[in-house]
A and B are shown apart, each in its own frame.
Chain A
Amino acid sequence: MDALAERHGAELQRRFSEATVAVCGLGGLGSNIAIALARAGVGKLILIDYDKVDITNLHRQQYKANQIGLYKTDALADNLAEIAPYTEITTITVKLSEDNLTTYLKDADIVCEALDNAEAKAMLVNGVLEQLPGYFLVAASGMAGMDTPNTIKTRKIGKRFYLCGDEVSDVADTIGLVAPRVMLCAAHQAQTVLRILAGEYEV
């Protein structure tokens, strides 16, 4: 922790280490977001996913071949323990819904939407903004395919809702998801989280 304080400054590192961030969905976005936040010294991560690691995930998600078949929550917690053992991790292996999201997200300061299905994304965004007033939300839409990296961006919509991505590249219309473009979007989300924690609310 002293090493991080030296790099980031003590005040900024205090803000990071006192924060709790929920990562909803641990695929290409969520696994990369979690690792970035853990490396930066965010104190507590709530990792939420109901799915298991599949061989088709390995081209873009932060899992290893020997983790196929494990719950993503457990596999990512193991990987984070190796990368950043000072991070406090809570794993929740459930499918989020309108009816349970408050229960699982209420302890977070900031919620990252990192799901893959468009309707699930909309459900979570509406649910968080409706049911958890005062919480910050960092969501993503549009990062599939082989388009230029330069269209991935972050914009602020309303008072506490940030949206990352190009907003148009649907996985259904492209060759699918490729690691760097998903990582770019995840990096936008993670950096936006850190900026909010730093008190920098504009994009």
Chain B
Amino acid sequence: MVKVNGTELDIAGKTVTEYLATTNYDPKRIAVERNGDIVFKSQYDVTVLRDGDCLEIVSFVGGG
């Protein structure tokens, strides 16, 4: 299981890109941290999620 923003999901084995494709996140508005470190945008396609990983996806909204 992979914890995504606090929720356990059965997505181990998928890449970050593959997981994001199943969600409504806009890739241009997000930042993804995995186990406390940023996942480089260029690595979404090749970063494979592993059992026990903890993913934080921040989706930015406008205003400032």
Contacts and interface: CB of A to CB of B under 8 A. Distances in A.
- Do A and B interact with each other, yes or no? yes
Interface of A: 25, 27-30, 114-119, 121-122, 125-126, 129-130, 139-144, 157-159, 161, 163, 167-172, 177, 182
Interface residues of B, number: 18
A117 B62 contact: yes
Given A119-B28, A158-B38, A25 B64 contact: yes
A53 to B, nearest CB: 15
Interface string B43-55: 0000000000000
Interface of B: 28-31, 33, 36-38, 40-41, 56, 58-64
A141 B60 contact: yes
B33 A157 contact: yes
A161 B33 CA distance: 10
B41 A126 contact: yes
Given A118-B29, A130-B40, A158-B36, A170 B64 contact: no
28 contacts: A25-B64, A28-B64, A115-B64, A118-B62, A119-B29, A121-B60, A121-B64, A122-B29, A122-B31, A125-B58, A125-B60, A130-B40, A130-B41, A139-B60, A141-B58, A142-B61, A144-B63, A158-B56, A163-B58, A167-B58, A168-B61, A170-B61, A171-B61, A172-B62, A177-B63, A177-B64, A182-B63, A182-B64
